[in-house]
Amino acid sequence: MTRTKTLRAPLSLLLAGALALPAAGGDLLAIRVGRAETIASGAIEHAVILVEDGKIAAIGQDLPVDRGIPVLERPGWTVMPGLVHPYSRMGLEARGGGGFDPDLLPTGELYPLDPVYDDLLRRGVTTLGLYPAGSNVPGRSIVVRPRGEEREDMLLVEGAYLKIEFSSDARSKKTIRDGFAKVDEYVEKEKKAREKWEADVEKAKKKKGDEKKDEKKDEKKDEGAKDKAAAAEDEKKDEGPGPYVPPEVDPKVQPFKDLREGKLRALVALNSAGDYLHWLDAIGEEEFQWDLRVPMVRYLDIYEVAAKLGERKVRLVVEPEITLQPSTLRQRNLPAELSRAGARLVLIPRRDSLDQIATWMSDIGVVVAAGLDRQVGLRAATLEAAEVLGLAQRVGSLEVGKDANLIFFDGDPLEPASRLRAVMLEGEFVMGEVNN
């Protein structure tokens, strides 16, 4: 299958010879590999990727390259987008409670010089979602690139999703309903404030009109400067209430307001099919964007609501695990079952550790070998994860205009024998021997 993007200028000659690492500035680099897993448009054999200013400038099959553009040739390699881990606490150490703190962010916990971030890059993770510690409603996540000397260098997004821990009990339901009830209270308060402001504006206009009618027609036109200043001051006082300023929103109410307005999404952690049904009851008629985090425990029963999840096209953040049918030793490939039912998958490492990240792709390969569609598996660690973080327009697939976050394997990324050979972050190689 051939997928091509038209280059902005004709390219004509492949260069050979030694290749130094490209600078992060305006340098161009062409990369020729045996296969590119684009995620968005399938695979491209004999692919060429043109990288410019940290972005993908072109991608296609056997694209010619202009004279003067350096070329990295690796015909035995496979390239795919950098891994996107949307649900992590790596590098963070604070402990959370069980309160209602939707306004909190883990930004203050971020320590850019922690060596774990270099280790993540070396394992192919180029985008990382970090959530706040705690249960109930502990706060909102941040998204970072795992590199930078200052927090500002690493931060991509503050407030990617609101983390909610939900269970089948009255307390959890009350928490969600109260959160939106507080938004309703604010909306009513804001409505009354606007109505009062509009009434004050009309009152000021009427008063000003009445005063003009009462002005004497024979008013002297040559009033002194002092009288003019006094008249101007009086007119200024009668201008009205000024521009409308809405009431200040309680910081704990703002995230739920943002959910309702589509400015924020929720990631809801639950543990069973029953929890899911209670979640639907808790949100009622509320319409907002939410995804589910479901830990793949040994006897998970989420398959009981697979059809309901599929109908809603729910996105589930799960591990690439083979689980067991409850009370039996019969294995179930729940990721494959959920995907076939119509649910969308995000596959994260089996544990939030460097060791498990190192086997992340081969673990996905296990569930693919057991029946999960291959493209679904690749997408689950890249583009679907980017959707959870609200960054799909920037990362998660190999497309023109997206960040040049690329990882290179010497074989099939889903095969245990394949090795990660190089990592590129925003157009710069940060790991691997890439000289010709």
pLDDT digits (tens, 9 = 90+) for 182-228: 999 999 999 999 999 999 988 888 877 666 665 554 455 545 444 55
Q: What is the CATH number of the domain that holds 372?
A: 3.20.20.140
Is residue 159 located within the same domain as residue 273? yes
pLDDT digits (tens, 9 = 90+) for 409-431: 999 999 999 999 999 999 999 99
Which pLDDT score is estimated for 233? 54
Distances (CA, A) of 221 to 108, 230, 237, 238: 64, 15, 22, 21
Please, which residues bridge with residue 130 across strands?
A: 88, 142
pLDDT averaged over 10-residue windows placed end to end, the chain, 436 residues: 36 31 60 98 97 97 93 96 98 89 96 96 98 96 96 97 96 97 97 93 80 56 51 56 92 98 98 97 97 92 96 97 81 95 98 96 97 98 98 98 98 96 97 78
Which pLDDT score is estimated for 24? 35
Is residue 310 located within the same domain as residue 194? yes
Question: Measuring CA to CA, which residue among 138, 50, 47, 136 is closest to residue 92?
Answer: 138
Is residue 330 located within the same domain as residue 267? yes
Written as one letter, the residue type at 91 is: G
Is residue 158 located within the same domain as residue 289? yes
Is residue 171 located within the same domain as residue 316? yes
Domain of residue 436 covers 1-80+401-436
Residue 347: inside a domain: yes
Which pLDDT score is estimated for 250? 97
Which pLDDT score is estimated for 227? 56
DSSP for 346-396 reads EE--SSSSHHHHHTHHHHHHHHHHTT--HHHHHHHTTHHHHHHTT-TTTSS
Which pLDDT score is estimated for 236? 52
Is residue 1 located within the same domain as residue 136? no
